[in-house]
Chain A
């Protein structure tokens, strides 16, 4: 049983950033940087209980989207008949640090091969992660060859397996969430850029908040079921808010003035490529939906920039402080 999401004390930025990814999975994940013992993993695991249902191909091992990219099996099936659909809850799949290539991308199904003398694909973790959250704790400690595979799939949105005589492709569009303690080492820049949003987490310093952490965690350990029951109403309310936001998202118009403001900000920050613009637009829209508003306001653009830009800011290796001040200054100039 997970600790209830709404019972996590403070860490509002972290919670909002996670929810934005549920509202719009296209935002592209989240990097959580922070010191140890600050509820990074707890929050991500807790998110699982808030996730909504989505439409999938019935009994497809890869949770294919009937209207999107299909796996090899579904492509065969669709030639014979229409695809049946069903509803399935999104989930959080954890990627352990010690994972091997086989387990990540899938391999030959040995049992089937022994019994029937046929080669069949045995799905790996990437199959589970399709259209779901893929969570990597201590992402900066991940082995290089695993990062290569992740980047490969993340870029294409498809996992192509060509090994041990098996050819198989399936969609692998996962929402990558990584947590790291920057003291243990930096992240490869290429991987860094893959994360849509980033937040920094620190321990709470307020005394009453610290006490609340202690109280709630102790109560949860004592009797998880009773503790969760106590928070169920608030959890439900949040679930409903997320569902509403997801439904409302397509109706929020991204007007030209909004786009102009976004571009003005990214231009002033001298950022590479177009990913920051796109992510910022999506995040601003998702924030608007989550806040139950009809149109994107300056506040949403401002907050979206805080989520989407800091880890993309160009900086010299040791230029640490000052980055945020610069961003805030630019935001003030552009948004007034």
Chain B
């Protein structure tokens, strides 16, 4: 199959071609649902590069030394001196590094990979070995956002990003099917005509003129797409110039810039109002009322693409109380530590709170020990242990390693604690300014998370849908900022809130399998909006509670915001807590609990 035979996905294809033409475009990230042809497209890209171009695939199970280079054990053993093995990154000089499902790559590996994409050029991999990293190589990655996120600062280092379109029309689907009929065995074929086109454009590239006017146009487009820092502009410049060369233009036309700007900014555009923190306060408020619920771009994509669980607002829905207001934060107070009770996973405690020594072979090798139940031998440490004795043991060719020399790997992996705040932002929360008290409670819980260095995420459900207003972050400050601008109003889509929580737990759990979750639901429990039009919201809620409570490693706390001095109280939240197997508190009880705890602990001392 040839690259040009690939049906549709013009943006993604353009991204590949631009990178083939000008590696400074900064690589390409393809975002799309499963089976949308992401990996196929990148494999096909091989056909438009000259044969000698290295094309290095990085498997997810790769170890750090294979990625960056390390000691060649076999050669070292044989020769009795250290021989270095070249890593995969240095081998990709002048070519393509392809990482399928890059969002699943462990973070410690993503760091060096993307650092180098940012232009770092030297890397010390082991003592005594400095590897020169190539500058002219591009990282192409794919990700399915259902499976987990990629951190924004790594995302920012990708020059281009394309979101795979769904192919709704039958004609194109047929085209795809026909290709598979013709070619049952997928094989990458070289695509000479496209290759020639790229070669011509490459030759033309230095002739494309860039004057002040062009730079001004680029700046103007960048200003329209606000993003952090200057990377966006730089990549826009290179991409636009490459595109102009491809079009045979003599200078960068406005249309060239417009054509590539989506590729450059789709993953770095800012959406939330908090980022413009220099706006005057009142303007900020106005903006936050309309705009602040939008999550960052990748998340949004995640939702729209997630066909099974689509939560698109329904057009027919009428909001119960149209008015929206933003409540201030009530006085924070000290709260009792909400505990992680259930722990069905086997783990050893390691002294430091957020770390456990991992069983099995996952995690980072932190140090070597002389004893281990895992029998995971640390070869480098073992070699070091036996080395001094080789002379006295009479080594001739092979190393003589005795049982005492064995060293084992001790690995560590962060077991994050993620605290998810699922906040009811419906109109009923606005009544009697209950939101003020609820925000005070959340603020207090956030303070606690800050002190314990937990990660936090925040989901708000109101009007027609639930939204992840804060993706998991360890910046509690950011959470606090989001909290202060949280508006209330509309119906209570409790079921949607539960579903969003469930999806977040699933998605985050894939990336960070040892994470323990604590979901704090802040609501009065009076759901009145279902996810799908025809079903009953109560049934949906119960189903979701069942799903959620079946998740291992998850604890739930329900904070009831209903005011209990009212004689028509419904205690719906109590039922919700029962369904979830959650601890139940009223806002007032959170405070009271703390007091009694304090007194108890004082008496003990």
Please list the residues of chain A having a beta carbon within 8 angstroms of any beta carbon in chain B: 35-39, 41, 94, 96-98, 100-103, 106-108, 110-111, 113-119, 122-125, 137-138, 141, 143-145, 164-165, 181-186, 203-204, 207, 210-211, 213-215, 217-218, 221, 317-318, 320
Name the distance in Å between B240's Cβ and chain A's nearest Cβ: 11
| Minimum CB–CB distance for A7 against chain B, Å | 14
Considering the complex, give the chain B residue whose CB is closest to the CB of A165: B388
Given contacts A122-B127, A182-B475, contact A218 B237 (CB under 8 A): yes
B230 at the interface (CB under 8 A from A): yes
- Cβ–Cβ contact B233 & A35, under 8 A: no
Q: List 21 A-B contacts (CB under 8 A).
A: A37-B156, A39-B230, A41-B118, A94-B124, A96-B112, A96-B124, A98-B64, A98-B108, A113-B387, A117-B388, A122-B127, A138-B111, A138-B153, A145-B367, A181-B153, A183-B152, A184-B151, A184-B152, A184-B475, A317-B480, A318-B446
> With A37-B231, A183-B478 given, is the CB distance from A210 to B219 under 8 Å?
yes
The CA of A52 and the CA of B286, in the complex, are separated in Å by: 53
**Which residues of chain B have C-beta atoms less than 8 A from A218's C-beta?**
210, 234, 237-238
User: Are A37 and B230 interface neighbours, CB within 8 A?
Assistant: yes
Q: A98-B111, A117-B389 are in contact. Are A36 and B215 (CB under 8 A)?
A: no
In the complex the two chains form, is B127's CB within 8 Å of A204's CB?
no
Q: Is B248 positioned at the interface, with any CB of A under 8 Å from its CB?
A: no
The stretch among B378-386, B552-560, B575-583 that forms the contact with chain A is B378-386
Within 8 Å of chain A (Cβ to Cβ): is B38? no
**Chain A's nearest CB lies how many Å from the CB of B468?**
16
Contact of A97 among B112, B384, B391 (CB under 8 A): B112
* Choice from B109, B231, B366, B451 contacting A36 with Cβ under 8 Å: B231
Residues in A whose Cβ lies below 8 Å from that of B387:
108, 110, 113-114
Of chain A, the residue at the smallest CB distance from B448 is A317
Chain B residues packing against A (C-beta within 8 Å):
24, 64, 68, 80-82, 107-109, 111-112, 115, 118, 120, 122-124, 126-128, 151-153, 156, 210, 212, 215-216, 218-219, 222-223, 227-234, 237-238, 352, 355, 364-367, 380-381, 383-385, 387-392, 395, 399, 412, 443, 446-447, 450-451, 473-478, 480-481
Known A35-B229, A184-B473: A214·B237 in contact at CB below 8 Å: yes
Question: What residues of B have a CB within 8 angstroms of the CB of A210 in the complex?
Answer: 219, 222, 230, 233
Complex CA gap A103/B128 in Å reads 9
Is A118 touching B115 in the complex (CB atoms < 8 A)?
Answer: no
- Residues on A with beta carbons closer than 8 Å to the beta carbon of B443: 318
* A317 and B477 in contact, given A36-B153, A96-B112 (Cβ under 8 angstroms): yes
On whether the beta carbons of A117 and B156 are closer than 8 Å, the reply is no
Please give me the residue from chain B that is nearest to A124 by CB atom: B127
Cα A141 to Cα B153 in complex, Å, equals 12
Known: A96-B124, A98-B109, A113-B387. 7 other contacts (CB 8 A): A35-B228, A41-B118, A94-B124, A103-B126, A165-B388, A184-B152, A203-B229
A110 touches B384 (CB 8 A): yes
Q: How far is the CB of B366 from chain A (nearest CB, A)?
A: 6
Known contacts A103-B124, A110-B384, A317-B447; A37 and B81 CB within 8 A of each other: no
Q: Is the CB of B115 within 8 A of A137?
A: yes
Indicate if the CB atoms of A102 and B215 lie closer than 8 Å. Answer: no
Inter-subunit contact A214/B219 (CB<8 Å): yes
User: Please, which residues of chain A bring their CB within 8 A of the CB of B381?
Assistant: 164
The residues of A that contact B450 with a CB separation of less than 8 Å are: 186, 317-318
Nearest B residue to A182, CB-CB: B475
Tell me, in angstroms, the Cα distance from A210 to B384 when the chains sit together.
Answer: 53
Contact A215 B215 (CB under 8 A): yes
Distance of B25 from chain A, by nearest CB (Å): 12
Pair A98/B475 contact, Cβ less than 8 Å: no
In the complex formed, the residue of A with least CB distance to B220 is A207
User: A107 contacts which chain B residues (CB < 8 A)?
Assistant: 127, 384
With both beta carbons as reference points, the residue of chain B lying nearest to A183 in the complex is identified as B475
Given that A35-B228, A106-B127, A182-B475 are contacting pairs, would A119 and B365 also be in contact in the complex, using a CB cutoff of 8 Å? no
Hey, which chain B residues are within 8 Å of A111, CB to CB? Answer: 80-82
Contact status A214-B383, CB under 8 Å: no
A211–B237 Cα gap in the complex (Å)? Answer: 11
State whether A114 touches B390 (Cβ < 8 A): yes
Q: Output the residue of A108, A181, A318 with the most chain B CB within 10 A.
A: A318
B111 adjacent to A101 (CB under 8 Å): no
Assess whether B230 is in contact with A38, with CB atoms less than 8 Å apart: yes
Q: Which residue of B lies closest to A207 (CB)?
A: B219
A122, closest chain B residue (CB)? B127
Q: For the complex, what is the distance from the CA of A114 to the CA of B24, rounded to whole Å?
A: 45
> For residue A185, which residues in chain B have a CB less than 8 angstroms away from its CB?
473-475
Residue of A with least CB distance to B449: A317
Counting chain A CB atoms within 10 Å of each CB, the highest count among B108, B127, B237, B412 belongs to: B127
Docked Cα-Cα span, A214 to B231, in Å, equals: 9
Residues of B within 8 A of A182 (CB): 475, 477
Kindly state the separation between the CA atoms of A182 and B218 in the bound complex, as whole angstroms: 29
Q: How far is the CA of A184 from the CA of B453 in the complex (A)?
A: 12
Contact of A115 among B81, B122, B233, B352 (CB under 8 A): B81
Q: Which residues of chain A are near B222, meaning CB under 8 Å?
A: 210
- Distance of B155 from chain A, by nearest CB (Å): 9
On whether A141 and B111 interact (CB within 8 A), knowing A37-B229, A218-B237, the answer reads: yes
Q: Kindly state the separation between the CA atoms of A307 and B122 in the bound complex, as whole angstroms.
A: 30
